[in-house]
A and B are shown apart, each in its own frame.
Chain A
């Protein structure tokens, strides 16, 4: 069974760093792109970026380039989303997603979400 299991909720202060995780199982982790999607409270979905764990090829949305870092450790089938210095505006639910391999398709599996709260 394919699963994406994310790390638990986080409460942080502005300026702190954070790395959240997404562990994939039940499939060949290195053969599928893994992405991250943000959902701010009461708002829609925003695509942040994506990584191909097989070769670490990473693409970012211009809106998030330089604001976050996406990485993956294929030895433990885990993808990461990292912030160096959090802002209150980073408060949101973050989902990791697996992309269907064929071009032009979507995300067939979603993690359960990690709620990040940034507040002084």
Chain B
């Protein structure tokens, strides 16, 4: 199985800050990576697919980059509604695997 490792596990930031979350795959996955946002008590929501494609309806302050084994999710200017947990997921080969999550908290 391909292992996905996110860092950091948690981060504190303020409204307006720029935040970057990283995700590393244990082997190359080309651009087959997705990012999700999950708020407490809610189902996750797709933000980015194919490493850098913004899902319809997702604000443009979210962006993704990377290929191979190293990927990043960047939020350019944090808004109050962005405080949540973020997960990466590889979609290169079965079994698809998720990272352990990054909790974004208000400073």
Contact = CB atoms under 8 A, between A and B. Distances in A.
Interface of A: 35, 44-47, 49-50, 59-63, 95, 99-100, 102-108, 110-113
B81 interface: no
Given A47-B97, A62-B95, A104-B29, 11 more contacts: A35-B96, A45-B38, A61-B94, A102-B50, A104-B30, A104-B31, A104-B32, A107-B34, A107-B36, A108-B46, A108-B49
Contacts of B62: none
Given A95-B44, A112-B43, A104 B95 contact: no
Interface residues of B, number: 29
A95 B44 CA distance: 9
Nearest to A61: B95
Contacts, number: 73
A44 B43 contact: no
Interface of B: 1, 29-34, 36, 38, 43-46, 49-50, 53, 55, 87, 89, 91-92, 94-101
